[in-house]
Chains A and B, each alone.
Chain A
Amino acid sequence: MPATGPESPVPLEVELAFMNDQSSRIAIDATAGRLTVTGVVDSHTTPQLAQAIESRGLTADLELDLSAVDFIDSSGLRIIVNAHRELEAAGHRLVLVGASDAVTRLLDITGLATHLHLP
């Protein structure tokens, strides 16, 4: 960014946070019955999450650990809500076993905190 005009220097901790934010990466770790999601969940990365959930099938409960999600927006929420609905329809549950602050904020804004199975 060109530095034109009076601008405050950016604190070091803010710069470090933005360095990490340069990667729109998602990592999904699959163990028995649980998917652990790390990183960014936006419309660029949600296809990977959707695929990971779909490959689990609807034959058992699914645990979703979102405690390491740095960023999530409505694209990610859409995937989660749809998985919740499909599992419920199949007689099973989607259980959020962990939710980062980013996840909690979004659930609170959308009123979904009382509809999903939370930690």
Chain B
Amino acid sequence: MAGAEQWAATPLRTSYEGEPLVLVAVRGELGRWLARQGFSPEVVSRAQLLVSELATNAVEAAPGQPFEVTARRVGPDTVAVAVSNAVSTTRPPPRIQWRTPEPLAPRGRGLAIAAALADAIDIVDDGPGTVTIEARLVDRTAAGGPSQQEGWP
């Protein structure tokens, strides 16, 4: 696991056009950044699904509009991944509503899945014309220690 001296590594910040075809690049670029930061394959896998959900939401909320993905280390074992819509006419519901009412519901799973994957998640910026959802993921797989389960909160 990366040591404390790598805290100051350059954050990831990329803008993408609001089209579904960019999702593979969103997942790939975040995964590569996380791997270079020394995060475990478990965190990489979890983050890639999480960012795919948030980015899909961003594209659906503001199709054709650019959205931004950022990732920054906020602790020796913690990364904050955020997706921002520059322009959005459809705002996400309040955090408290991010639970699918029933498993077989026709839609509405994306944010609930993101919440299940993250150790913490919330809307961090809801100003005029912008919405940012940030998730924090903690890497609990310590090198040399017992392997951790891929448990969901």
Contacts and interface: CB of A to CB of B under 8 A. Distances in A.
A100 to B, nearest CB: 12
A64 interface: no
A112 B104 contact: yes
A7 to B, nearest CB: 4
Contacts, number: 108
Interface stretch (B17-25, B79-87, B131-139): B17-25
A81 B36 CA distance: 36
A14 B35 CA distance: 8
A104 B138 CA distance: 22
Do most interface residues of chain B lie in helix, strand or loop, or is the interface mixed?
A: helix
Contacts of A61: none
B64 interface: no
B27 interface: yes
A26 to B, nearest CB: 11
B110 A74 contact: yes
A46 to B, nearest CB: 9
16 contacts: A1-B33, A7-B6, A10-B36, A14-B35, A23-B24, A24-B21, A42-B52, A43-B60, A71-B49, A74-B53, A74-B113, A81-B105, A81-B106, A84-B104, A105-B150, A110-B113
